[in-house]
Amino acid sequence: MKNVTITINGAEQQAQVEPRLLLVHYLREVAGLTGTHIGCETSLCGACTVLMDGRAVKSCTVLAVQADGHKIGTVEGLANGGQLHAIQEGFWEEHGLQCGFCTPGMLMCSHDLLAQHPSPTDSEIREAINGNLCRCTGYEHIVNAVKSAARKMTKRVSARAA
Partner 1 sequence: MRPFEYVSPTTKAQAVSLLASNWGQAEILAGGTDLLALMKDDVVAPKRLVNIKDIRDLTGVTYNAQGLRIGALTNLGDLADDANVRKNYPALSDALIEAASPQIRNMATLGGNLCQRPRCWFFRNGLGLLPKDETGKELVTDGDNRYHAILGNDGPAKFVSPSTIVPILIAYGAKIRVEGPKGKREVPLEKFYVIPKTETEREHDLQPNEIVTEVVLPASTGVKAAHYEVRQKQAFDWPLAVAAVALKMNGSNVQAARVVMGYVAPLPWPSPEAEQVLSGQSIDDDIAQKAADAAVKNAKPLSHNAYKVQLARVSVKRALLKAVSGGAA
Which residues of this protein are in contact with partner 1, per CB under 8 A?
Answer: 2, 18-20, 22, 41-43, 46, 49, 52, 55-58, 61-63, 65-66, 109, 112-113, 126-128, 130-132
Comparing CB distances to partner 1, the nearer of 86 and 109 is: 109
Comparing CB distances to partner 1, the nearer of 86 and 128 is: 128
Crossing angle between the packed helical segments 139-161 and 86-93, to the nearest 10 degrees: 140
Identity (one letter) of the amino acid at 63?
A: L
Instruction: Supply the DSSP string of 117-142, one letter for each residue.
Output: -SS--HHHHHHHTTT---TT--HHHH
CB of 153 to partner 1, least distance (A): 19
CB of 124 to partner 1, least distance (A): 10
CB of 9 to partner 1, least distance (A): 19
Q: How many residues does the chain have?
A: 162
CB 37 within 8 A of CB 71: no
